Amino acid sequence: MALAQNVTVSTDVDNMLQAGTNEAIRTSVFNDFITSGARSTGASALNPVQNFQPATDDTVSNLCVDSSGNVIRGSQEATWTFTRAQLNALSTNRTDLLSAPASGQCIVIEETNWLVEVDLTKAYQATNVNLKCEMLGVNANSVGTQMVKGNLNQIAEILKTANTDATLAGGPSTSPFGLYHRDVPDLARIYRFDVPLTIRAVNGDGVANNFPDNFVSVKLKIKYRLFDKDTF
């Protein structure tokens, strides 16, 4: 059927309609999507580099919308840095990381990341210290997250070995950072309300708390959420 004389179409649309085959028309319609660069071709991966990272280690929040349309806090993240001197200053006495929330509220740990930095110029030495983050549970201290000496030593040893292998092969030094991630609880956690989140150093071998000098620092990033008994 011929177009009416008073209908005007763009040159692009006219060319598409006269392309001749359904396949040619589909190609013309979806060509911009196919060549937009939104997907990679072959076996190459998408670039993982992202901008707009937090400028500091301060707490960040996910913003949510409740059923009334109000913007509210959801999960939050906080980060702490412990130098070797600060790690050695920890003891079996608990130090507050997150203060007790407002009355009737409870801190619930959702995910944790421990960033370990070692000195690759020093020989590997093991530590005997377990780091525990706890909240006061109903009957005992409830572990929110922990990094035991086995994990600390494994990261330090792997980083040192990788660097030694790389430099002996004539390559550059490798990264001094290793990451330990947990998205599930170490142990069953039963919490009380109105109590803080704490950290302490536990000496599993019963000897003095001492991080060897091949450890530089440990950063802890905790993702957590506050629950309120009245709005739960």
Question: Which residues lie below 8 Å from residue 38, measured CB to CB, with a gap of 6+?
Answer: none
Tell me the pLDDT of the chain (232 aa) as tens digits. 454 555 555 566 566 666 667 676 666 655 655 555 555 556 666 666 667 777 776 678 888 888 888 888 889 999 999 999 999 988 888 889 999 998 999 998 899 999 999 999 999 999 989 998 888 776 667 888 889 999 999 999 999 999 999 999 999 999 999 999 987 666 677 888 999 999 988 875 555 678 999 999 999 999 999 999 998 8
- CA–CA separation, 209 and 214 (whole Å): 15
- The beta-strand segments (E) located in the chain are 60-65, 71-83, 95-98, 105-118, 129-136, 141-147, 177-182, 197-203, 215-228
Type of residue at 25: I
- Specify the pTM: 0.74
Question: Which of 181, 186, 211, 76 lies closest to 135 in space, CA to CA?
Answer: 186
Spell out the long-range contacts of 98-101 with Cβ–Cβ below 8 A and sequence spacing 24 or more. 98/196, 98/197, 98/222, 98/224, 99/196, 100/194, 100/195, 100/196, 101/194, 101/226
